[in-house]
Structure 1
């Protein structure tokens, strides 16, 4: 058995967020010498089940390659959604200072930053559950890699426009500054600089983040929030039972010399009786993890 091949595949699984697949299962499949095999990684949370299915193929020289995986998300009470993702190699960019001058290390070599262009297991799961992710990619210059450029975008699955194979295209969304949006909300978790960063990073990964709303009178309310880049300026907010809250819970904007009257204060946190229940989205904590392997042919 080619141990370097096993090590390489293990690294690929790690960078796609599927390192929980047992290595002994991977080794056993390789030792059997099959032309191709699939494995499974299943995780569950209150949204439902997320199942990653990596496909492995054997080359003519006997090495195995992991080039793509399926993500099957099954929201509770709804039909499964199947999406396919390519495993792409990391690409480098030259690190530059504020003036655009390449930064060099102590040996005089230009410093490089490697960007993971692959959508990971967790990102794919969050997309499948209808949430947005924030992803950095590299625009590759094939003629001169030193001119590679990175760019950042919010992405969602476009469920309204499936392709001929029933898969949903990724839709890029620009103009959504999550850090600026968070300044308009009075969540307890945003009281410190570190708290703001952790909260922002969680939303960028596509998580449904728990939050504690602080009422002007000091009362607190447990909530869940998601990034909402389509709105450009707000968050999706749910109560403790994952029911969508439709009223704005932003800090009230007060003009100079104007005071907020009690009725206006109350209106900031009042929840409508006719709540609209949307597709379930989970808090980030996962309940169980189990890994399976099964024999099967990889897709053409």
Structure 2
């Protein structure tokens, strides 16, 4: 049977793994030792000039062991507009992923179906709707939906994309739902990129947050490709002329 100390350490590890750091560890230990049937911890962060409130829930079993059930996240914008959602422990959503989902971005997760089989899918909240419990519906874009992240990334002239470490970091960040900062070849300044699995594409923004047309940026690659093909065509015409003169 798990001791109280082991239970506390296990819960602390779960919080750390879920992206809540160690700031709640002492309060969690205090609450567990108090013996309450239910525990709720609070944490507030201020990302991007916004307020993000977390309410973490724990419940005590009949055997006396505490379990982490998940958390509520409420994102408050500068204009006072609020968005909230409950995330359950079995969904595997981290603190940062919850923020990204409430920002409207998609998160890539490995999930299990009712038969216990693992599958991959992009998750995205429908922030325009709520169910009878006040929850935003979660849309899933299955691995067979047709969104190819790597294919879409290669369409853009992203600087340093040939560096394996930079490439891995970009894919990891986009799958976490982050708005990732990138540099583009032959263009000054920083740009921001996010995954858009619904439309099987990527969203690109400039430093001011203005959305840019990715099609125009990929045109350079198309021109380079055409330029590489021209010499080959010219060589064919030259061979043809030589053949006619023989």
TM over 0.5: yes
Q: Determine whether 1:135 maps to 2:95.
A: no
Kept in 2, the 8 Å contact 1:47–1:129? The answer is no
Q: Determine whether 1:65 maps to 2:33.
A: no
Q: Determine whether 1:224 maps to 2:213.
A: no
Q: Determine whether 1:126 maps to 2:100.
A: yes
Segments of structure 2 that go 5 or more residues without pairing to the other structure are 229-246
Residues matched between the structures, number: 221
User: By how many angstroms is 1:247 displaced?
Assistant: 6.0
Kept in 2, the 8 Å contact 1:16–1:87? The answer is no
Q: Deviations over 1:233-292 (max 9, x none)?
A: x31111112232346343213497569xxxxxxxxxxxxxxxxxxxxxxxxxxxxxxxxx
For residues 192-231 of structure 1, what are the structure 2 equivalents within 5 Å?
A: 192-215=163-186, 219-231=187-199
Aligned to 2:8: 6
Q: Which structure's relative contact order is higher, taking Cα pairs within 8 Å and 6+ residues apart?
A: 1
For residues 224-263 of structure 1, what are the structure 2 equivalents within 5 Å?
A: 224-232=192-200, 234-246=201-213, 248-252=215-219, 253-254=222-223
For residues 82-101 of structure 1, what are the structure 2 equivalents within 5 Å?
A: 82-88=84-90
Kept in 2, the 8 Å contact 1:72–1:81? The answer is yes
Q: Determine whether 1:75 maps to 2:77.
A: yes
- Tell me how far apart the structure 1 counterparts of residues 166 and 18 of structure 2 sit (CA, whole Å): 27
- Tell me how far apart the structure 2 counterparts of residues 48 and 244 of structure 1 sit (CA, whole Å): 21
Distance 1:257 1:31, change over 3 A: closer
Aligned to 1:166: 134
User: By how many angstroms is 1:32 displaced?
Assistant: 2.4
Q: CA RMSD in A?
A: 2.3
User: By how many angstroms is 1:61 displaced?
Assistant: 3.4
- Tell me how far apart the structure 1 counterparts of residues 22 and 79 of structure 2 sit (CA, whole Å): 27
Q: Deviations over 1:94-135 (max 9, x none)?
A: xxxxxxxxxxxxxxxxxxxxxxx5112111111011111111
Distance 1:256 1:84, change over 3 A: closer
For residues 31-46 of structure 1, what are the structure 2 equivalents within 5 Å?
A: 31-46=33-48
2:35 is paired with a residue whose SS is coil
Distance 1:164 1:123, change over 3 A: same
| Structure richer in helix, relative to its length | 2
Aligned to 2:150: 179
Distance 1:238 1:76, change over 3 A: farther
Distance 1:239 1:152, change over 3 A: same
Distance 1:221 1:249, change over 3 A: farther
Aligned to 2:232: none
- Tell me how far apart the structure 2 counterparts of residues 207 and 29 of structure 1 sit (CA, whole Å): 33
Which segment drifts farther, 152-161 or 126-135?
A: 152-161
